[in-house]
Structure 1
Amino acid sequence: MEVRYVTTGRPRRVRAAYGTEIQVTHRWAPEEADVIVVPGGGYGRRDGPGVWAEIASGVLPRALAAAPRRGLTVSSLCTGALLLSAAGLTKGRPCTTHHGAKADLKAQGGLVKDARVVDDGDLVTAAGVTSGLELGLWLVRRELGADAAIGVEGTLEYEARGTVWTASSS
């Protein structure tokens, strides 16, 4: 398993909202991925970097709309679900996002569930920031099995909490 940070633009250093820098060395290549995780951020402000700027540019939503294919899971963390929504991927589907953005996600046609992680097969969404731990552990369990997830929990010294809402649990 290989984890890559990717960009639809040219590879470069990306500065996150609070100054964290990430070196992005790979170009967007969804055909090479098994899982895509779309982060959120910047939801509370519309005048700077973040989900609103990405939605306004349209580049990432168009790339996400074209990405789905058999064998690919598209997932989001926090307000990244709004980027999936802008791509048309959440319309009529069970999903979740940060509690402060649920009304927007619902207004855009998502079937919003009050769960930390919602698994609808090839679409997996997670709620607020700390739900990222739940998302990661769920994807490890789903893709690699319970023993692998338990191993990751032990390494992190964190136990998954709550129930993952799955399409089969509706």
Structure 2
Amino acid sequence: MIDNQRRKLVIGALLAPLAASVHFKALAADKTTQEHHMSDMGPDMDKVPWMGDEQIAMLIYPGMTVMDLIGPHCMFGSLMGATIHIVAKSLDPVTSDAGLTIIPTATFDTCPRDLTVLFTPGGTDGTLAAASDPETLAFMADRGSRAKYVTSVCSGSLILGAAGLLKGYKATSHWSCREALAGFEAIPTEARVVRDRNRITGAGVTAGLDFGLAMVAELRDQTYAECTQLMSEYDPDPPFNAGSMKTAPPKVKAAMIQMAVDFTKKAEALASAAKG
């Protein structure tokens, strides 16, 4: 019970930056008011491309890691004029691996055909199931064939790979399954955010915040992204320096590699099956 409450508090904290987007969207509803406010923001701020009309589809599925979704969603939520579709097979509630339930806003059938951004979060067993599901892969392949940007965070890149969307592209993932991407004819690349043409992928879980800011800058500009970062007060200063394989103590790395070994093997098997 305590763990679930803590998870909900974390999610609530991550959603706090969306208060800014509510204010922005209220301004956007009145063009005159919007122009007045933007001109008052300071030198050159009226030159920032504040408004857009992006269509962003974010896949959800049972067993996903919810922070993979929420981190990018908080950043996408700052984009004035953008429409975010939370997409699943049906409109039934979808429960994450941590027990948090999300309500979809669109289905595979009702999601717009032509998207600015197609995105998928990762997870563990839930991700492997989604990456083996014909309906999910058909949806991703179809929308991905036309989307301006094809994106993922964490092991969500396994879904992109299984849908045939990473062939010949550099991509990253969670460290536990990054090398498995080679089985989908992708080029595994160790970095927080990797861009190869219109494929943009983020590493594990918290990299979704970096990915989201990079996407805001891509869709608008650096100043807009910096405003989003400041409103989010995204200024990481973790209490420990164990957030990557480069910095974690040996005993921590050994324990986590052992804990993830089954998932790593399953991810590699999924990718190997794609070759055949």
The answer as to whether partners of 1:12 and 1:25 remain within 8 angstroms in 2 is no
Q: Which residue of 1 aligns with 2:139?
A: 63
Q: Which residue of 2 aligns with 1:17?
A: 97
Q: What displacement does 1:32 show?
A: 4.3
Count of residue pairs the alignment pairs up: 153
Structure 1 residue 35 and structure 2 residue 111: aligned?
no
What SS does the corresponding residue of 1:3 show, helix, strand or coil?
strand
> What is the TM-score normalised by the length of structure 2?
0.53
Q: Which residue of 2 aligns with 1:145?
A: 221
Q: What displacement does 1:64 show?
A: 1.2
Percent identity of paired positions between Structure 1 and Structure 2: 31
CA distance in 1, matches of 2:221, 2:186: 29
CA distance in 2, matches of 1:94, 1:101: 14
What SS does the corresponding residue of 2:152 show, helix, strand or coil?
strand
- Runs of 4+ that moved beyond 4 A: none
> What is the TM-score normalised by the length of structure 1?
0.83
More helix by share: 2
Which stretch of the first structure deviates more once superposed, 51-60 or 87-96? 51-60
User: Which of the residues 81, 84, 91 maps onto 1:3?
Assistant: 84
User: Per the alignment, do residues 6 and 71 of structure 1 end up closer, same or farther by CA in structure 2, a change over 3 Å counting?
Assistant: closer
- The CA RMSD measured in Å over matched residues stands at 1.6
User: Which of the residues 157, 167, 179 maps onto 1:81?
Assistant: 157
Structure 1 residue 94 and structure 2 residue 170: aligned?
yes
What SS does the corresponding residue of 1:99 show, helix, strand or coil?
coil
Q: What displacement does 1:69 show?
A: 4.3
* Gap regions ≥5 residues in structure 1: 161-170
The answer as to whether partners of 2:114 and 2:147 remain within 8 angstroms in 1 is no
More strand by share: 1
